[in-house]
Chain A
Amino acid sequence: MKKFLLILSALFLFLTNAMAQGRTITGVVTDEKGNPLPNVSVVAKGSNVGTSSRADGTYTITIQPNTRALIFTSIDRLPQELPIGNSNSLNTVLRTDDKSLGEVVLTGYTTRRRSEFTGATAKVISRQIEQVPLASFEQILQGRAPGLYIASGSGQPGTSARVNIRGVGSFGNNDPLYVLDGIPIETGVFRSLNPNDFESVDVLKDAAGAGLYGSRGANGVIVITTKKGRSGRTILQYRTQIGYSEPSVLNNVTLQNTAQRLEYEEKVLGGQAGILNSSGATGFPGWDYSPNNPRYAGLSAAQKASEKLLLDSIKRINTDWPGIFFQKGKFTEHELSASGGSEGLNFYTSLSYYKQEGIVITSNLDRYTFRGNVDFKTKRLSVNVRSGAGFSSSNSIEAEAGVSLGNPIAVAFLELPYRRLYLPNGAIDTGSNKTGPNVYDRFTSAFNTSNQFKGNLGVTLQFDIWGGISFRTTNGVDWRNNNQTRFIKPDSYAGGLQQSAPGTRGQGLYGEGNYENLQLTTTTGFVFNRTYNNRHAISAGAYVEAIRNKYRSFSVTGYGINVALPNTPVGITGGSNTNGFIPFFGGTFLPGNTKSITGIYSEMLLAEYTYNRKYTVTGSIRNDAPSQVPKNNRKNIFWAASVGWNLMQENFMQNQNMFQNARLRASYGETGNTNGFTSDFGYISTYGSGSYAGVPAIVPTSPGNTEYKLESQVITNFGTDLSLFKNRIRITADYYIKDSRELFVNQNLSRTTGFLNLSTNAGKVRNSGFEFAINGDAVSSSDFLLTLGVNGAFNKNEVRSLGLLEDIPAGTGITRVGLSIGTHYTVGYLGVDPQSGLPVYEDKNGNPTTIYAAANNRASYGTFLPKFTGGATIDISWKGLGISTLFTTAQGVKRFNNESFFYESTNANATFNKSTDLLYSTWQKPGDMTNYQRISSPRQFSSRDIQDASYIRFRNLQVGYTITPENTRLFKGVRIWGQAQNLYTWTHWRGFDPEESNNIATYEFPNPRTYSIGLDLNF
């Protein structure tokens, strides 16, 4: 032993001496954010001399004088070659290699090399998710993955969006399944999660991926993997950003100002063609005080003078209502994280604070999150603990997205510009019909607060038994509690209107409600992984899985608030038969009252076989028993099979250098939609509680459908992955057909049954489409990289059957066989008859008619589901500078504009503000060619109100600069950056925001434009 050591040290001495003739170069290797990178291989170009970076990212290498360059390489990083100058110090930044990160597909049950994965997936990595000023992470994914359509329904901070993977395959719930570190989590409740904790998000789109989830996979699966620590030096990081949000611009509409409004009242509402009563005051000052008004002639000189004075004072008021309700919202985020580990034990932990004000005054979100992830491994046992907790508190505006004069967004459009906000004494000019001031008053007197606590815990334990067989169990809990309160000050105008029974003077209200959701999951079984003869790789798993979901909510609203005890239930006055303060169960903004329980039990087998890294065959089969169906429907077998062929392993590909990767994939299988159940107990005929004038009663609540069963989808997918020209162009393309069947149709019943409708499994829908993602390195040199990326998805949606029905009309929409879901259904509009000034509609056959009749409704006006969605990215990095941009788009979207129905109202009595078009273009006399019908003629819903809501959005721009300090004692790395979100929108839509999650625009909270600057420090 001693001898051996002696030889070794002699050898070492020799080597050292041999190298002493060269230069010694030192430096630090960091990632683009300034984190030190350990274990980076540093090799002198053209020699065998090399070393690797230490835990703090530093390296020292001694080179021969003829060495011209150093080559840096590391797993997951793009290799870099740097020329050696005169300096003996050489620091460098190694950029993340997205291609190699993308080489692992995480399905929640399995981890697969991308080169062998047989399904259609897309991966979004932490770099694309981090730091975007959106509290609900799914919105950040917009435009990042083809086939993943995200449409935000509200700009209120923290609101979740509509998420559809490969179109809409159910008439009910189309939400994908979300899985966080192997544990399914509640859909649409993400505002208390910190997206900066996410390492990656895998989107599983076909049977090979989503099929693993059996009865829960039909709408696709979004698999979130949080960060974990890596062995090496502990990395401590502090990140912060500050910024602000501002309102988006009002596209393609101008509303009247005071001068225009008064002119409109005088010339359009009054005047020759007008309809206002000319004998007395009408309440419209523009006409009442006009010298053209016939009553003017009958006034005395003094009256004339006094009316002129009145009119002049009105003219001086020009209230900017949108300006009053909107604000620049401040935005701040702080985050502290630490990660690291040693052999066998790794950790990642983070703390964050996030505060964002909405663009409508008083709306905001405050969030605090914590995450602690620990991985422990011995020779046979590995344990992974994933824990997260988040608390968020959010204040919302009144009557959000309501066609209501309590909704500030609606009033921003509709309040008259000559209405004043304040009385001369400084008080808000509230009162009956004074919508603008009343809404403004509510910002200081009505409060809607939602506090959310969310906790996730998952523990995975794997024990290697023998011969590649392991026992594996994943157990987890996803819990959240929403506490929502609503308070209206007793001594305010709004407070005076609040009472359980009219007839008494209102004294505000206080309501509080809780919603709790608890989901427990266990997946337990055996897994097998083994490679025989270095050629036959087999992996398999057999599990049982049990999921229990419980939810409940309870809300009460009390009245008669004591002024001295605001915003507490203690301030409520007990109700009596006469005081009008009887508490109410439920209430506006509160979560309602419910309590229920569901469960799913499954048995499953998964298997995969790869021959020589060339051919891969996978299969899965599950039997799922959801509690929501009758016992005889609880046997649901779902299976999926898929194949993959890696052409690169074939001999004929060895002699070409065009392709660096070429794969073909195909998959087929069936999944179910447990999200689609219309009721937890839809198969049981039930009674519920009712009342006859306060006397307890029971009434039938559901007729029950004994045939109740799972919705399911059969997905066929063909795909390919290619890399060309030295990996500079990377293409993924997929074609799919997704047939959804047994879909719940809300079948209208004959009313003689005592019920309106029944959920029956009668529908069939097909989504078929093509998806692509192309990324190319347009310029790729040692210190300059320009990457262009574009992804898109064409989807065709078609209803193929509705059981016994041909169509189901619902409001301004229709579900009809042969058409897309979300098709609009209304009367065709042709224009205004120049002679009569009345609107001309189309009859059932498309012929002009003046009669408006719902019987003439037609389904020829498109759908709100996009035909094409996509995103485009441009990323530039040059030395320490990085610029990344994201554009997103949705095309072929038609939405019903219920907003223009009001600001184009022809109702002469309506005290709404109108668009300037109504002033300049309203039909006045025979011969007028215009698109705006005569005043007082009924303005009906028609195809006129269906507008193109397609858009292209400059969604995100980020510019960052990384500084690697010479002296790393204080900071190992610093990055400063700035970003802008929703910079610009190109659209024909009329309104604040074309992007919305449903078919009809009802004065939703628009998405803001946000600017921020940030700083990342690594210690």
Chain B
Amino acid sequence: MKIVLKYTMILLMAISFVACTKDELTDLQPISSIPSDKAFLTLNDATNAVNGVYGTWLGRRPAYLSSFISDELRLGTVGYRNVGNILFNWQYVSDAQDWRDGENGGAWTNLYQVIDRANRALELMTPVPTANNSEAGLKVQYKGELIALRAMAHLELLRWYSKTIEYTPGELGVVLQTTYVKAPGSYRPPRSTQEEVITQVIEDLAEARNLIPSSFVDIGRVTKNAVIATQARVALHTKNWQGVVDRSTEVIPLQPISSIANYPALWNTRSLLPDQSTEVIWKLNVTISNLGAAIGSLWQDLGGAVQAQPSDKLVNTFDPANDVRYNTFFRTPLTTLPSPINLIAKYGAVIAGNGENFQYDIKMIRTSEILLSRAEAYAELDMLTEANNDLNTLRTNRITGYVHVPLLDKASLINEIMLERFKELCFEGHRYFDLKRRSLPIVRELVDVAGNASILQLNPTDAKYLLPIPQQEVAANPNVTQNPNY
């Protein structure tokens, strides 16, 4: 009996020991990640989450796409690794490597990640308490930045992936995403119409404009000026010419365009000050820690191999002697390397021994662009004088001794404005989209295509003029219809 009692005791002790270890063993909290419901406790967490959205946006992607697909560059010759080969030869299909997640030619995945992270932060930071007025103000500003980023990402997606070449309200646009997805496994949204997306973008920008204070001037983030400039972009995309004029006129005086004297510094300063003293309205910062996101390494390798060089077509549009941009945008390497004559130098160039690492901030919006948009809008509105004035302003600030001869017919004036956009905004991710929104063909010169006549011209009627929705999206989400010809 004694023995039975003894072992019963031991057994009971063992059971109670085990019962408490069960929860201890299995009820664990992650050590190396933050559960979402514990991620937003203070305003500092919200600060970090907003930073996370900026860190997500890869500004180099439109520069890559636009330069290889259009007439801005020719393929490299020294240590060429087939970079951009498929895009340049217009051979892409919907699952071409360039469109895949993480590849330079793709924006779909990256921009929806931006949108998701913005939506998530917007929702999760709502209950975060604020300690004082300054924190309360910041929280409002963050909300404005997040809503603006969401709108900007949607606009960018529309530029890339709309079903039509030009803005057509009733035709398919992209998926509109204003909340974060709680059950991702079963989420398969269809594309909204372009009008639906634009309506939301306009609404978001209007709200953001009210939330972001003018006193916030860090151009490494979305300021009120950036929101207004984006409104001008929306108007341009939708051919709301009066809207372009109105919004541009609002923002241009706030950050006037650079003069000839200041222009080189705009490009050879690796990181502009976080204020509104230059014509850069929005930029994405590049430091040593996110060097992989830099633009310059798209065309040249760190070791000096050249993947792409500027097209003769582009180089020849400049006046080498008087145009400040010629020596700012292009560089002739030292003779020690069997290098091509010109390198793309807008974001740094490796020239024997200079150890360039391309660590330059990515300019997302500049006043020059907005000014040229306004010129175009004026011309479209038949306000040719104003349009000539804007073109003159830009050229006077780029070309020494420039004397403007006003163009009196609308078509040639618009052609000149488009040419100026080609020059001023080259390698900044505009060319292809500028041609596209006006249904203009991509036209290259024979010398830039190594004699391959089949890639001289891509007309808007050609299958490859439109971009496909990446196959990875279509495969995972059958409700997204593919663009024509893919």
Residues on A close to B: CB < 8 A? 432-433, 465-466, 497, 500-505, 524, 544, 546-548, 577, 580, 582, 594-601, 625-627, 631, 634, 680-681, 684-688, 690-705, 747-756, 758, 760, 804, 809, 853-855, 907, 909
Verify B56–A699 contact, CB threshold 8 A.
Answer: yes
* A594 proximity list for chain B (CB < 8 A): 32
* A704 proximity list for chain B (CB < 8 A): 36
* B21 proximity list for chain A (CB < 8 A): 546, 601
Contact of A698 among B52, B80, B291, B475 (CB under 8 A): B52
Assess A692 versus B185: contact at CB under 8 Å? Given A686-B34, A752-B477, A756-B101.
Answer: no
* A755 proximity list for chain B (CB < 8 A): 116, 184
Verify B36–A752 contact, CB threshold 8 A.
Answer: no
A-B contact pairs, 7 of them (CB 8 A): A596-B31, A601-B22, A687-B36, A688-B34, A698-B52, A750-B189, A752-B112
Verify B33–A681 contact, CB threshold 8 A.
Answer: yes
* A694 proximity list for chain B (CB < 8 A): 285, 287-290
* B35 proximity list for chain A (CB < 8 A): 681, 684-687
Interface residue stretch chosen among B43-51, B129-137, B319-327: B43-51
B173 located at the interface, meaning its Cβ lies under 8 Å from any Cβ of chain A in the complex: no
* B185 proximity list for chain A (CB < 8 A): 705, 747, 749, 758, 760
Contact of A597 among B31, B117, B303, B357 (CB under 8 A): B31
What is the bound-complex CA distance between A497 and B304, given in angstroms?
12
> Which 10 pairs of residues, A with B, have the shortest CB-CB distance?
A754-B116, A503-B357, A692-B55, A599-B25, A697-B51, A693-B285, A748-B476, A750-B477, A697-B52, A686-B33
B239 located at the interface, meaning its Cβ lies under 8 Å from any Cβ of chain A in the complex: no
What is the bound-complex CA distance between A501 and B35, given in angstroms?
33
* B287 proximity list for chain A (CB < 8 A): 693-694
A632 to chain B, nearest CB (A): 12
What is the bound-complex CA distance between A747 and B187, given in angstroms?
12
Closest-by-CB residue of A relative to B57 is A692
What is the bound-complex CA distance between A736 and B289, given in angstroms?
54
Contact of B30 among A432, A596, A760, A855 (CB under 8 A): A596
* A680 proximity list for chain B (CB < 8 A): 28, 30
What is the bound-complex CA distance between A688 and B54, given in angstroms?
15
Verify B93–A854 contact, CB threshold 8 A.
Answer: yes
What is the bound-complex CA distance between A546 and B48, given in angstroms?
39
Verify A693–B286 contact, CB threshold 8 A.
Answer: yes
Closest-by-CB residue of A relative to B120 is A700
What is the bound-complex CA distance between A600 and B26, given in angstroms?
6
* B25 proximity list for chain A (CB < 8 A): 546-548, 599-601, 625, 627
What is the bound-complex CA distance between A753 and B175, given in angstroms?
11
* A505 proximity list for chain B (CB < 8 A): 355
Verify A595–B32 contact, CB threshold 8 A.
Answer: yes
* B477 proximity list for chain A (CB < 8 A): 750-752
Contact of A751 among B79, B120, B476 (CB under 8 A): B476
Verify B109–A432 contact, CB threshold 8 A.
Answer: no
Q: Which of A747, A749, A750 has the most C-beta atoms of chain B within 10 angstroms of its own C-beta?
A: A750
Q: Which of A626, A751, A907 has the most C-beta atoms of chain B within 10 angstroms of its own C-beta?
A: A751
* B18 proximity list for chain A (CB < 8 A): 544, 546, 601
Q: Which of B3, B33, B50, B79 has the most C-beta atoms of chain A within 10 angstroms of its own C-beta?
A: B33
Chain B 94-110 residues near chain A, CB threshold 8 A: 94-96, 101, 108-109
* B181 proximity list for chain A (CB < 8 A): 703, 752-754
Contact of B33 among A465, A597, A631, A687 (CB under 8 A): A687
Verify A681–B30 contact, CB threshold 8 A.
Answer: yes
Verify A598–B116 contact, CB threshold 8 A.
Answer: no
Closest-by-CB residue of B relative to A548 is B25
* B39 proximity list for chain A (CB < 8 A): 686-687, 698
* A465 proximity list for chain B (CB < 8 A): 3, 7
Verify A432–B357 contact, CB threshold 8 A.
Answer: no
What is the bound-complex CA distance between A749 and B185, given in angstroms?
6
* B24 proximity list for chain A (CB < 8 A): 599
Q: Which of B30, B116, B188, B189 has the most C-beta atoms of chain A within 10 angstroms of its own C-beta?
A: B30
* B288 proximity list for chain A (CB < 8 A): 500-501, 577, 582, 694
Closest-by-CB residue of B relative to A506 is B355
Verify A544–B27 contact, CB threshold 8 A.
Answer: no
* A627 proximity list for chain B (CB < 8 A): 25-28
Verify A752–B175 contact, CB threshold 8 A.
Answer: yes
Verify A693–B36 contact, CB threshold 8 A.
Answer: no
Verify B188–A750 contact, CB threshold 8 A.
Answer: yes
* A504 proximity list for chain B (CB < 8 A): 355
Q: Which of A466, A625, A703, A909 has the most C-beta atoms of chain B within 10 angstroms of its own C-beta?
A: A703
Verify A751–B108 contact, CB threshold 8 A.
Answer: yes
Q: Which of A594, A598, A749, A760 has the most C-beta atoms of chain B within 10 angstroms of its own C-beta?
A: A749
Verify A687–B357 contact, CB threshold 8 A.
Answer: no
Assess A751 versus B472: contact at CB under 8 Å? Given A601-B22, A601-B25.
Answer: yes
A524 to chain B, nearest CB (A): 7
A sample of 10 more A-B contacts (CB under 8 A), given A684-B30, A749-B187, A751-B101, is A501-B291, A546-B18, A594-B32, A596-B30, A598-B28, A687-B49, A690-B52, A701-B33, A752-B473, A756-B101
* B312 proximity list for chain A (CB < 8 A): none
What is the bound-complex CA distance between A596 and B94, given in angstroms?
39
Chain A proximity mask over B1-40: 1 for CB below 8 Å, otherwise 0: 0010001000000100010011011111011111111010
B263 located at the interface, meaning its Cβ lies under 8 Å from any Cβ of chain A in the complex: no
* B36 proximity list for chain A (CB < 8 A): 684-687, 700, 704
Q: Which of A433, A582, A688, A693 has the most C-beta atoms of chain B within 10 angstroms of its own C-beta?
A: A693
Verify A700–B32 contact, CB threshold 8 A.
Answer: no
Chain A proximity mask over B283-311: 1 for CB below 8 Å, otherwise 0: 01111111100000000001110000000
A843 to chain B, nearest CB (A): 13
What is the bound-complex CA distance between A685 and B35, given in angstroms?
6
* B200 proximity list for chain A (CB < 8 A): none
